[in-house]
A and B are shown apart, each in its own frame.
Chain A
Amino acid sequence: MADAFLSLSHISKSYAGVQALDDVSLIVKPAEIHCLVGENGSGKSTLIKIIAGVVSPDEGQIVINGKPFPRLAPMDAIREGIQVIYQDFSLFPNLTVAENIALNYELSRNTRIVRWGEVRRLAQAALDKIGVRLPLDAEVESIPVADKQLVAIARALVQNARLIIMDEATTALTEKEIRALFGVIRNVQRDGVAVLFVSHKLNEVLEIADKAMIIRNGKVVVDADAAALDRNKLVYYMTGRRIDEADYDYVPQSKQPLLEVSHLSSPGNFEDISFSLYPGEIVGVTGLLGSGRTELALSLFGVLPAMRGEVRIDGQLVRIRDIQSAIRHGIGYVPEDRLTEGLFLDQSINRNIVIRTIDTLRQAGGLLSPARLEAHAREWINNLSIKTSNPELPVKSLSGGNQQRVVLAKWLASKPRILILNGPTVGVDVGSKTELHEIIKSLAGEGIGILVISDDIPELLHLCNRILLMRRGRLAGMFERAVLDENKLTTLLTESTTIGSAVPSPQVQ
């Protein structure tokens, strides 16, 4: 039997009286793939930090390679072969792929003179090991996010990693890219390297893991073979409650479409897109990254104005030339990357909520009344049950799910008629996701037309009454919810050839 590479026993840690970890034990053997699953705040990050030597536990033992480490320092962890790939990958955007892979290793060897031949050789060897091809001389800034992750994995391997810890490895990836990542992980596994996925996303867990550990409120709830778990059990263990979501039940409210898009084109981004959106509808727009789905959304919101085609709102021809005109026509857009595009992270929750409607809250003389702003913000904090002790705290103090609610609140405050949600639950844990879904469904119930851009298949099937499939900038099909199931949509999404059996919706001319 293979000896354990890493063994944590009875680890406890508390911060200022809050028990972050309570008697957690974990054994990782070489070439094992583990998943550590838990909602935000469950203690996963503390556990990673303890393994990486960044945080010392209050109690418990750490044994790596048979050696006990009473006080594990970050350098010890690295020397023993523990590599953490953080969610942001910690890459250098201005340096080439090759240099990013080799630099940390060269640094740890105290290299003084850089030999570029050696850098390329190291990088190529690491990429060969994981079985991927990347342009060695491309700047990391210019490569897609999935490739950046591969660069981070290759970098870990160059440093002789025996255990790679991947924090939220799949959050930014599409389904297809996740498949490719799993292929890479299996290659790494073949060389005896263990992998610990840390995630709050469920689908991936069962597919690749040998073992899964679920923690909740700092305690281990389940530590089992992955094969013994299914998705419902996972959700139950993570949240401590069974979540039964009812799929969205669309009731037609009007014969007049809210939004009609015909032959919309933006060269280089998408071509000839036609569809309509009725009040109360939730229409999904899906496709792989690069299918043009985000560009379509940006175009409807005036960020990337379309070159050709027509947009009608309530039957009236409108021109969306810029963001201001989109807003005037009652269109709201919740971006994919809320951190950089949707929020002022350092500003208070209150201020973030009122930013869109601040003009309407002006009093005589154009002055703002803080009390009035606060009352307005409080209304939305209550409406969307944003969990915060103090709305004057900066938005970055909130969890992912609550941040997303602030973005929503900001838009809802301006009473949009059409809401475009790009990846509404990316990076949000299971419990919050369900609540966000409920909010979206009730908004649609009030007559708002909602476009949901997502490649989260269960989410699409759950929320949408119709789904548009985009492929390489074109509309590849439009499906009623009723004709789809998870397998069918997955196949449609990942298929690269044109599909023959598309069931056209009545709205397509």
Chain B
Amino acid sequence: MLKKLFSRQETLVGITLVALCLLIGTINPVFWTPGNWFDLARSATVTGIFAIGVLIVLVSGGIDVSFTAIAVFSMYTTTVIMNQIGFQGGMVAFFALSAAIGALLGLINAFFIARFRLPTLIVTLGTQSLFRGFLLFVIGSKIIRDLPPGMAQYSGAFLFTVTDARGITVGLHSAVLFLVGVAIIAQLLLRHTMLGRSIYALGGSREAAERAGFNLVRTQVFIYAFVGVLAGIAGMIYGGLNRQANAQDIVGQELDVIAATVLGGASIAGGRGSVVGTLLGVLLVTVMSNSLILVGIPSIWQRVVIGAIILIGTAVPAIRALHTARRANVDIEPVPAE
């Protein structure tokens, strides 16, 4: 049982994360201040929500690189619409609209993937360019700093604030609740609903899933629409926290998010991955990119270190699998004494 626990990628990533925290915290105690932790939570929120979406797609045996384009499209378009109608209400409406736009764009992915059975990478590469191009050309490319009031106030929506020893007030932003909520929903969905199991079944063996009678078109439509909703919400959080709507933002992060998800144990070949692992993968990458500066590693080195961690983190399980495969389970009798 213990052995099984230790052979899991989640456990490895968790241990690495704890070790890394201890190391950084020992070198620079600032790491342990609430301010740093609130900052980490804030940074992990958008990546985390994206990563949950990526997880679901990866488990189903697909890959999606268009979610960043969906996120920026939904966020920017929502901002433009709300500005034009002079919307004065709260942030909830922004999230609802952005999520709806995201769902719509996700359905475009689903249409090509489920209906025509095109390879998911090709479809989402295409739609990424399409969504982004459409956004920049048709909707707008200027940075909007003059935000509708609901959105402008969002960056100050803390759950609570603390004032530390030096008199600086820091707060935990409420956006982290989205991450928690999305994680719980995804966990319930993947683990405890037949729809979730059909996603694993599809990623494990498409043919077997068809023979079993799963409605795979429905499953795939759900997956890409759901990812669209998550992207719409994450994009809105991103815009709110940064207090601007920039049509050039977000796109470009997709590979980092996919890498964090894979680091957390999701298989690029489909059928495997967990919410807990994904969250750990995201946290590990976030701690690395936010905290290396605390131990004196220049920020230009961050990319190198993150790249190395991702390579090592994904290579270790692969090497172990290869090793197990090579060591056939032959039970060799002891050599009798001569």
Residues of A within 8 A of B (CB): 75, 86, 88, 90-95, 99, 103-104, 106-108, 111-114, 267-272, 290-292, 294-295, 304, 472-474
Residues of chain B contacted by A267 (CB below 8 angstroms): 332
Residues of chain B contacted by A473 (CB below 8 angstroms): 330-333
Q: How far is the CB of A312 from chain B (nearest CB, A)?
A: 23
Q: How far is the CB of B303 from chain A (nearest CB, A)?
A: 32
Please tell me if the beta carbons of B204 and A114 are within 8 angstroms of each other in the complex: no
Please tell me if the beta carbons of A472 and B333 are within 8 angstroms of each other in the complex: yes
Please tell me if the beta carbons of A92 and B209 are within 8 angstroms of each other in the complex: yes
A90-B205, A92-B209, A94-B200 known; A271-B335 Cβ under 8 A? yes
Which of A91, A113, A268 touches B327 (beta carbons < 8 Å)?
A268
Q: How far is the CB of A387 from chain B (nearest CB, A)?
A: 28
Q: How far is the CA of A270 from the CA of B328 in the complex (A)?
A: 10
> Does B212 touch A at the CB level, under 8 Å?
yes
**Extra contacts besides A268-B330, A269-B328 (16): CB < 8 Å:** A88-B207, A94-B267, A95-B271, A103-B197, A103-B212, A104-B213, A107-B214, A114-B193, A114-B197, A270-B332, A291-B330, A295-B330, A472-B330, A472-B332, A473-B331, A474-B332
Residues of chain A contacted by B327 (CB below 8 angstroms): 268-269
A103-B212, A107-B213 known; A92-B328 Cβ under 8 A? no
Residues of chain A contacted by B332 (CB below 8 angstroms): 267-268, 270-271, 292, 472-474
Please tell me if the beta carbons of A295 and B328 are within 8 angstroms of each other in the complex: yes
Residues of chain B contacted by A113 (CB below 8 angstroms): 192-194
Q: How far is the CA of A271 from the CA of B211 in the complex (A)?
A: 44
8 cross-chain pairs, A with B, having the tightest CB-CB distances, nearest first: A94-B271, A92-B204, A94-B204, A90-B208, A473-B332, A268-B327, A473-B330, A104-B212
Residues of chain B contacted by A107 (CB below 8 angstroms): 194, 198, 212-214
Residue picked from B196, B272, B330, most chain A C-beta under 10 Å: B330
> Does B166 touch A at the CB level, under 8 Å?
no
Residues of chain A contacted by B335 (CB below 8 angstroms): 271-272
> Does B221 touch A at the CB level, under 8 Å?
no
Residues of chain B contacted by A91 (CB below 8 angstroms): 205, 208
Q: How far is the CB of B117 from chain A (nearest CB, A)?
A: 18
Q: How far is the CA of A86 from the CA of B208 in the complex (A)?
A: 10
Q: How far is the CA of A100 from the CA of B304 in the complex (A)?
A: 42
Q: How far is the CA of A270 from the CA of B204 in the complex (A)?
A: 33
Q: How far is the CB of A474 from chain B (nearest CB, A)?
A: 6
Residues of B within 8 A of A (CB): 191-198, 200-201, 203-205, 207-209, 211-214, 267, 270-272, 326-333, 335
Please tell me if the beta carbons of B271 and A93 are within 8 angstroms of each other in the complex: yes
A294 to chain B: closest residue by CB: B328
Residues of chain A contacted by B272 (CB below 8 angstroms): 94
Residues of chain B contacted by A472 (CB below 8 angstroms): 330-333
Residues of chain B contacted by A93 (CB below 8 angstroms): 204-205, 271
Residues of chain B contacted by A269 (CB below 8 angstroms): 327-328, 330
Residues of chain A contacted by B200 (CB below 8 angstroms): 92, 94-95
Residues of chain B contacted by A111 (CB below 8 angstroms): 194
A295 to chain B: closest residue by CB: B328
Which of B192, B209, B213, B331 touches A114 (beta carbons < 8 Å)?
B192
Residues of chain B contacted by A114 (CB below 8 angstroms): 191-194, 196-197
A90-B207, A94-B203 known; A106-B271 Cβ under 8 A? no
Q: How far is the CB of B337 from chain A (nearest CB, A)?
A: 14
Q: How far is the CB of B145 from chain A (nearest CB, A)?
A: 46
Q: How far is the CA of A292 from the CA of B194 in the complex (A)?
A: 41
Residues of chain B contacted by A295 (CB below 8 angstroms): 328, 330
Q: How far is the CA of A202 from the CA of B16 in the complex (A)?
A: 56
Residues of chain A contacted by B201 (CB below 8 angstroms): 92, 95, 103
Please tell me if the beta carbons of A92 and B205 are within 8 angstroms of each other in the complex: yes
Please tell me if the beta carbons of B193 and A92 are within 8 angstroms of each other in the complex: no
Please tell me if the beta carbons of A92 and B211 are within 8 angstroms of each other in the complex: no
Q: How far is the CA of A113 from the CA of B193 in the complex (A)?
A: 4
Q: How far is the CA of A291 from the CA of B331 in the complex (A)?
A: 8
Q: How far is the CA of A235 from the CA of B203 in the complex (A)?
A: 43
Q: How far is the CA of A92 from the CA of B200 in the complex (A)?
A: 9
Q: How far is the CA of A75 from the CA of B211 in the complex (A)?
A: 11
Which of B191, B192, B204, B214 touches A95 (beta carbons < 8 Å)?
B204
Residues of chain A contacted by B211 (CB below 8 angstroms): 86, 90
Residues of chain A contacted by B198 (CB below 8 angstroms): 107
Q: How far is the CA of A88 from the CA of B212 in the complex (A)?
A: 14
Q: How far is the CB of A95 from chain B (nearest CB, A)?
A: 6
Residues of chain B contacted by A294 (CB below 8 angstroms): 328
Residues of chain A contacted by B194 (CB below 8 angstroms): 106-107, 111-114
Please tell me if the beta carbons of B271 and A92 are within 8 angstroms of each other in the complex: yes
Q: How far is the CA of A75 from the CA of B212 in the complex (A)?
A: 11
Q: How far is the CB of B218 from chain A (nearest CB, A)?
A: 12
9 of the cross-chain contacts (CB-CB < 8 Å) are: A75-B213, A94-B203, A94-B270, A103-B201, A290-B331, A472-B331, A472-B332, A473-B330, A473-B332
Q: How far is the CB of A399 from chain B (nearest CB, A)?
A: 21
Q: How far is the CA of A473 from the CA of B327 in the complex (A)?
A: 12
Residues of chain A contacted by B330 (CB below 8 angstroms): 268-270, 290-292, 295, 472-473
Q: How far is the CA of A113 from the CA of B195 in the complex (A)?
A: 9
Q: How far is the CA of A273 from the CA of B197 in the complex (A)?
A: 47
B269 to chain A: closest residue by CB: A94
Residues of chain B contacted by A90 (CB below 8 angstroms): 205, 207-208, 211-212
Q: How far is the CB of A228 from chain B (nearest CB, A)?
A: 36
Q: How far is the CA of A271 from the CA of B336 in the complex (A)?
A: 12
Q: How far is the CB of B198 from chain A (nearest CB, A)?
A: 8
Q: How far is the CB of B176 from chain A (nearest CB, A)?
A: 28
B214 to chain A: closest residue by CB: A107
Q: How far is the CB of A425 from chain B (nearest CB, A)?
A: 23
Q: How far is the CA of A347 from the CA of B240 in the complex (A)?
A: 54
Q: How far is the CB of A102 from chain B (nearest CB, A)?
A: 10
Q: How far is the CA of A122 from the CA of B202 in the complex (A)?
A: 22
Residues of chain B contacted by A272 (CB below 8 angstroms): 335
B212 to chain A: closest residue by CB: A104
Q: How far is the CA of A93 from the CA of B209 in the complex (A)?
A: 11
Q: How far is the CA of A90 from the CA of B192 in the complex (A)?
A: 22
B192 to chain A: closest residue by CB: A114
Residues of chain A contacted by B326 (CB below 8 angstroms): 304
Q: How far is the CB of A11 from chain B (nearest CB, A)?
A: 23
Residues of chain B contacted by A95 (CB below 8 angstroms): 197, 200-201, 204, 271
Q: How far is the CA of A113 from the CA of B205 in the complex (A)?
A: 21
Q: How far is the CA of A292 from the CA of B196 in the complex (A)?
A: 40
Q: How far is the CA of A111 from the CA of B198 in the complex (A)?
A: 12
Q: How far is the CA of A290 from the CA of B332 in the complex (A)?
A: 10
Q: How far is the CB of A456 from chain B (nearest CB, A)?
A: 21
Q: How far is the CB of A437 from chain B (nearest CB, A)?
A: 28
Q: How far is the CB of A63 from chain B (nearest CB, A)?
A: 24
Residues of chain A contacted by B209 (CB below 8 angstroms): 92
B324 to chain A: closest residue by CB: A142
Q: How far is the CB of A457 from chain B (nearest CB, A)?
A: 22
Q: How far is the CA of A295 from the CA of B201 in the complex (A)?
A: 32
Residues of chain A contacted by B270 (CB below 8 angstroms): 94
Q: How far is the CA of A90 from the CA of B207 in the complex (A)?
A: 7
Q: How far is the CA of A91 from the CA of B212 in the complex (A)?
A: 9
A114 to chain B: closest residue by CB: B192
Q: How far is the CB of A22 from chain B (nearest CB, A)?
A: 28
Residues of chain A contacted by B196 (CB below 8 angstroms): 114
Q: How far is the CB of A49 from chain B (nearest CB, A)?
A: 13
A94-B272, A106-B194 known; A290-B328 Cβ under 8 A? yes
Q: How far is the CB of A195 from chain B (nearest CB, A)?
A: 20
Q: How far is the CA of A112 from the CA of B194 in the complex (A)?
A: 5
Q: How far is the CB of A93 from chain B (nearest CB, A)?
A: 6
Q: How far is the CB of B327 from chain A (nearest CB, A)?
A: 4
Q: How far is the CB of A476 from chain B (nearest CB, A)?
A: 10
